[in-house]
Amino acid sequence: MKTLIFAGSTRQQSYNRQLAHAAAQLATAAGARVSHIELADFDIPLYNADLEAKGTPPDVMRLKQLMFEHPAWIICAPEYNGSYTALLKNTIDWASSPVKSDPVWKDGFRSFSGKVVGLLSASPGGLGGLRSLSHLTPLMMNMQCWVAPKQFALARAFEAFAEDGSLKQDAHRAGVQAVVDQVLWAAQKLHA
């Protein structure tokens, strides 16, 4: 199963980027063909309809295609002020924006519809970014995605990762693995 994994952060020492790395390792071990991307590798400006009218940026088109090609996704969502990041919202806004002049991409839901999405978060706080997931879930459902019921929020993330980027505790690995397994199972059922 082709699985896209990314974090809604570009910060160098981001706990959610670390969590995305750990999730990619677990998904690969579970047999998924993982594409682990970094949003920092995409030149995506702040969404502006006037800018879009001049032409959809090439990296937005590249991201749309990547999203379309992967039936399964894992998103690691940081929590800023009790919700998901502006970076993540901006990415979704651009990726879902229709390209009116292109017959293939005029449907803004093309990259999203029917994707099985697993949600993870990591935070130094006690809730592990859980509030970001509670806000991101309805957004992804509105994008016509199938959101996995299992989610995992990693609390006290500053002490959760080993030197090699893996999760130290069995319980944390099991929490991420449960989300990965549910996403892969559902994607196989929906995209068989």
Could you tell me the pTM of the whole model?
Answer: 0.96
Min mean pLDDT across 23-27, 84-88, 125-129, 147-151 is at 125-129
Q: Kindly indicate the confidence band of residue 166, based on its pLDDT and cuts at 50, 70 and 90.
A: very high
CB-count burial class (<10 Å; 0-12, 13-18, 19+) for 150: middle
Terminal CA-CA length for the chain = 10
Domain boundaries, the chain: 2-190
Tell which CATH architecture fits domain 2-190. 3-Layer(aba) Sandwich (3.40)
